[in-house]
Structure 1
Amino acid sequence: MTIDRLLTIAGIASAFLLIAGMIAGRMKPAWRIWPAPPVGSLKSFLFWSLFRTLNIAVLILAAERFLTTLTGQMVPFRIALAAVSFASGIGYAYTLWSLGRKATYCQVSGLATGGVYRWTRNPQYATAILAFATLGLAAWAWDATLLAATLVIVYAMMAITEEPWLEARYGRAYIDYKVEVPRFFNVRHAINELHALLSSKVPSLANGQRGKR
C-alpha cells in the first residue's frame, strides 16, 4: 500500500469517527468527545489522536499533490489559493496563541471576547476552515480535496457542538456574546466593528494634535 493511499484511508477513517462521535455526543452527553473530555481520559486521547491524524493527513497529502501537479493554465489560480491558505494558517497560529493553551484544550480559563474575538466567536475555526478549504482546492486532486473537505466539516461541527458547553460554563455572558458576534464571519458585523475601531482612533488622533499645539 502506498503512502498516499494510507494517508487517504487514515484521514477518511478519522473524519468518519470524529463526525460520528460528535453526532453521538449531541444525542447522549455521556458519549461526548468534543468539547474534549478531561485531559488524560480515554475519550480525550481518542479525540486528539483522530483529530491530529486527520490534520496531518490533509497537510501532507495536499502539499504533495500541490507540488507534484503544479502545471497547466490553473497554476496562477492554484498558487493564489495556496497563498491564502498559508496566510490563513498564520492567522490560525495567532488565534491559538491569543486564546491560550488551557482554553484551546477545553480547560476553563475565562470567556474571550476582546481582540480578534470581537470579529468572530470562533477565530480558530474560521481561519482553519479557510486555510484547509483553500489548501484542498490548491491541491487540485480528488483525494486531497475530498479529505480537506471532511476536515472543514469537522471544524464546523466542532464550533457548533461546543456552544452548549460554553453556555453551561459561562451562562448569560456567553449568550449575550453569541447574540452580538457571528459564529464565523459576517460582513455587516465586520464593517460595524471596523467603523467603531476607526471612530475610536479619530478622537485620539485629534486630541494628540491639540496636545502638540
Structure 2
Amino acid sequence: MNAQFKPEKEKKRGRPTNKSARNVRDSLIEAARLCFIEKNYQQVTTREVATRANSTMAMIHYYFGNKEGLFQAMFIETFEPVHKLVQDGLNNPPDSFVDFFKRYYALMAEYPGFVVVILKCLLFENGPLEERFIHERIREKGEPMEKMLKKMQQKGVINPELDPKMLHISMVSLMNMPFLMEPNLEATMGIKPDRDFWERMAIHQCLLLEQGCLKK
C-alpha cells in the first residue's frame, strides 16, 4: 500500500517576525556596539557588522536603513539605561551618591569603551550624529542630572554654596574618567577592572565627592 504523499509546506518568506525578528535586531545592535567601540565610525562597514551578527546587510537595511541609522539605534539603546538612572534620581533625589555611582558603573562596565564613543560624537565634527540628535539625546538628557543635584541641595544633602553646574561637571568627570583609563589600568597600575574593582571605585568616588581628600 502506497503511503499517502504529503507535500512539504512552503516556508514563509519575507520579513522576519516576532521573536526571530527581535533576535536578529538585537544581534545587529550588539555587533554594531562592539564594532563601533573597537573602531572609529568611518572604519566600520555594514558588511562587518552583519558578519559579526551572523546576519546580512539586507537586515541592516530593513531595520535601520543604513549605517548611520544603525549607529543611532545602537547609541539610543545603550545610552537609555543611563538616562533612566538619572531620571530615577530626579524623581527620588538620593541622600547619598553611593547607589547612583554603583548603578552607573554596573551599567557602563558592560561596555566600558562606550564612553569613548560618546566623547567622539561630542568632540569631533562630521561625526555619525547630527547636531539635532546630539542635542536631543545627550544634552537634553544631561539636564536631569543638574536638576537632581539642585533637589539634593533643597533636601539639605549637598552644600548649598556649590554651583550645581560646576558640580555636574565634576560628577561627569568622576563618573567617566575611569572608563577612559580602563584599557591601560592593568598594564600601567596593576589593576584588573573587574566587577569588584568597579564596586570599590564607586564607593571611593562617593567618599571623594562627599568628603573631599584633604585632612581637616
TM norm. shorter chain > 0.5: no
Greater helix share, structure number:
1
Higher relative contact order (CA 8 A, sep 6+): 1
TM-score by length of 1: 0.31
